[in-house]
Amino acid sequence: MRGTLSSGGFELAYSVEGHGMPAIVIGSAVYYARVFSKGLRQSLQLIFMDHRGFAKSSRDMKPEDYTLDVVLDDIDLVRRHLGHEKVIVIGHSGHGYMALEYAKRYPSHVSHVVMIGTGPSHSAAHQEASERYWQESVCPERKAKLASDLALLPGEIEAAPDKRFITFCIRLGAKSWYDHTYDATLLWEGVHVNMPVFDHLWGETFRDLDVQKGLDKLDIPVFLALGRYDYLVAPYATWDAYRGSFRDLTVRVFEKSGHTPQLEESELFDAELLEWLSSS
């Protein structure tokens, strides 16, 4: 089932696929439908939804149109539209913050939180930790691949500045994937982006976000899936300082994954996630 919901001049597309417990996957309804396995759809009803960074807009955007609070309200709009009292919320990368903050804001409507490839924050300190991890642990071939890909960035961004978020995601493949030669271009085909939304949320909101705030009141189990070869976010050990703030946190590090274990090790990811859901 596919549809769109109008919210503040944005057309939020959604796609409902599979059977089982309802799980809202926050992000692009196009991109994220491609990175979760068909097998997982046999056990969960996956609801892929656009947030305003991926939704088409019928008017000029203003800063108040894409605050985190507005995005969280849009997630709840989708939940209510589909008639679910409680849902699992799933967020990958920066969308993991959206999933966690949604659970803090609407705890009575969330059964579980799943964060995938999410660092503790996008702060300067955590970016520095990510860069140090990259410099100290990466093979020369991976570093050479990144250098050659980054050399293409200026020309590509100049040609399509409105798609620079996607261009960055593709050209940072050596930092993103266990197989550093993997080309993610097809995953992004047909995906619409609104750069002001990403500039604000990723550049400001997630930089300053304190994930510990409100965790003392959050009595919802959280599953944190991380890739051993993820160099886009702070290394998994940086979460150690935050573990004690969660009431119920399960961490899984996937040995042959980078930033997207739900695609890179889909069978193992599905098994770990479903086992956790059945036991928590």
Q: Is 92 a catalytic residue?
A: no
Annotated catalytic residue within 92, 259, 266, 270 = 259
Expressed in angstroms, the distance from the first to the final Cα of the chain is 29
Alpha-helix residue ranges (DSSP H) falling in the chain: 31-35, 68-82, 95-105, 124-137, 140-150, 153-159, 164-171, 173-176, 195-200, 206-208, 261-264, 266-279
Catalytic residue among 65, 230, 266, 270: 230
Spatial separation of the C-alpha atoms in residues 243 and 269, rounded to whole Å:
21
Among candidate residues 28, 93, 176, 257, the one labeled active-site is 93
Is 230 part of the annotated catalytic residue set? yes
| DSSP codes joined into one string, 58-75 | SS---GGGS-HHHHHHHH
> Do 223 and 273 meet the contact criterion of CB atoms below 8 Å apart?
yes
Q: How many CB atoms lie within 10 A of CB 6?
A: 11
Q: Which of 70, 34, 39 is nearest to 55 (CA)?
A: 70
Phi-psi region of 214 (alpha: psi -120 to 50; beta: other; left: phi over 0): left
Per the annotation, the verdict on 109 as an active-site residue is no
Q: Report, as residue numbers or ranges, the catalytic residues.
A: 93, 230, 259
